[in-house]
Amino acid sequence: MRFVYVMDPMDRVLPDKDTTFAFLRAAQTRGHESLHCELRDLFVKDGDVHARVRQLTVSDAPPHAVFGEPQVVRLADVEAVLIRKDPPFDTPYLYATLMLERVRGRTVIMNDPRGLRDANEKLYALHFAKYMPRTMVTSSEEQIFAFVKEVGGRGVIKPLDGAGGSGVMMLLPNDKNARAIIQTVTGEGSRLAMVQEFLPAVEKGDKRVLLLDGEVLGAINRIPRGDDFRSNIHVGGSVEPYVVTPEERAMIADMSPRLKKDGLVFVGLDVIGGKLTEVNVTSPTGIQQLSQHENRDVAVDVITWIERKSADFRPSLKSIPGV
């Protein structure tokens, strides 16, 4: 099969850490062809969306990525399109999701472009507000102050478009920097920010639960380093195995129909002390760390899911053994 990966340049990808690299490796092991492109390589001609791609071979040893010659493919002709571009969600990203609308229903797209557009990673969690810590979204400095007081004096403020812990800060009582922090995150009151009650359980870790088509694929726990409250791997959080609790399973079962309806197949939930803080959809990570703990390549589960799904679009493939 041919899979197109719409993603960042390969020199930004860490072979031993990044989930997209694990997908590339697993797909290659299963005999599929990987075609790499960036957002700017997508184009529409005569009403149909295409991409300028290069065949990509990956390897754990350097060189980690070897490219073939540039070629053009019509996206409806390949077996799957994996949208794995890291945030930010900017205008080029928005346009890419709008162009990719043209392939819905004609091949597998993971995740669905409309779902990606609808699901701001911070705001989408509000569909499941009953599982969240107390949360407010506002640009008003005074409202933020009042809210933090209301939730016990300690809060966390986050930009709506951040990732990897970037711009996430603690709001503490009597901190003479608090006003400056709020003004920085809200752009002097010109931008919305999310404010949450501070969850002390974060000390024990922020769980990353990976979901595939609404089902639990596995989970890891990310423990903050001693001198930070943020536990993102990106800012030095350490990873340990984690088993999803029955309460978390019940929450996921409740969330699953909505995720499926929105075409959000590969999703990473952030859960602190049983509370949902974020629903990562653009390019969730964690599968390599999960694989290490499970002693098997969990990325294979995602690739085999894509193989099975693509058979829905290519009935003839149903006769291939193992598909």
Q: Which of 121, 197, 262, 278 is catalytic?
A: 278
**H helices, E strands: number in the chain:** 8, 16
The DSSP bridge pattern shows strands 80-83 and 108-110 to be parallel
CB-CB contact of 155 with 147 (8 Å): yes
Dist. CA 311–CA 323, nearest whole Å: 7
Is 122 a known active-site residue?
A: yes
Is 208 a known active-site residue?
A: yes
Q: Which does 97 bind (CB under 5 to 8 A by kind): Mg ion, ligand ADP, none?
A: none
Task: Please identify which residue in 270, 297, 301, 307 interacts with Mg ion, judged by CB under 5 A.
Answer: 270
Q: Which of 85, 230, 232, 301 is catalytic?
A: 230
Smallest separation (angstroms) from ligand ADP to the CB of 161: 9
Task: Please identify which residue in 68, 164, 189, 214 interacts with ligand ADP, judged by CB under 6 A.
Answer: 164
Is 280 a known active-site residue?
A: yes
Based on the shown chain and the rule CB under 6 A, indicate whether residue 286 belongs to the binding site for ligand ADP.
no
Site for ligand ADP in 117-136 (CB under 6 A): 121, 133
Compute, in degrees rounded to 10, the torsion defined by CA atoms 222, 87, 23, 237: -20
User: Of 7-15, 83-91, 185-193, 262-270, which segment contacts Mg ion by CB under 5 A?
Assistant: 262-270
Dist. CA 127–CA 115, nearest whole Å: 13
CB-CB contact of 215 with 144 (8 Å): no
User: Of 7-15, 70-78, 199-207, 284-292, which segment contacts ligand ADP by CB under 6 A?
Assistant: 199-207
Based on the shown chain and the rule CB under 6 A, indicate whether residue 158 belongs to the binding site for ligand ADP.
yes
User: Of 97-105, 173-181, 191-199, 310-318, which segment contacts ligand ADP by CB under 6 A?
Assistant: 191-199
Dist. CA 300–CA 306, nearest whole Å: 10
Q: Which of 25, 84, 85, 122 is catalytic?
A: 122
Dist. CA 135–CA 275, nearest whole Å: 11
Based on the shown chain and the rule CB under 5 A, indicate whether residue 121 belongs to the binding site for Mg ion.
no
CB-CB contact of 73 with 64 (8 Å): no
Size of the site for ligand ADP (CB under 6 A): 24
Task: Please identify which residue in 113, 115, 224, 284 interacts with ligand ADP, judged by CB under 6 A.
Answer: 224
Dist. CA 2–CA 317, nearest whole Å: 13
Q: Which of 121, 208, 232, 248 is catalytic?
A: 208
Task: Look at residue 287 and give its three-state secondary structure.
Answer: helix
> Which of 120, 119, 121, 146 lies closest to 134 in space, CA to CA?
146
Nearer to ligand ADP, 113 or 162 (CB): 162
Taking CB under 5 A as the rule, which mask of x and - marks residues 271-300 in contact with Mg ion? Answer: -------x----------------------
For residue 230, CA distances in Å to 7, 13, 198 come to 26, 22, 11
Residue 13, C-beta contacts closer than 8 angstroms, at least 6 positions apart: 7, 20, 21, 64, 65
Q: Which does 248 bind (CB under 5 to 8 A by kind): ligand ADP, Mg ion, none?
A: none
- Residues with catalytic function: 122, 158, 208, 222, 230, 270, 278, 280
Q: Which residues contact ligand ADP (rule: CB under 6 A)?
A: 121, 133, 156, 158, 162-166, 168, 196, 198-199, 202, 206, 224, 229-232, 270, 272, 277-278
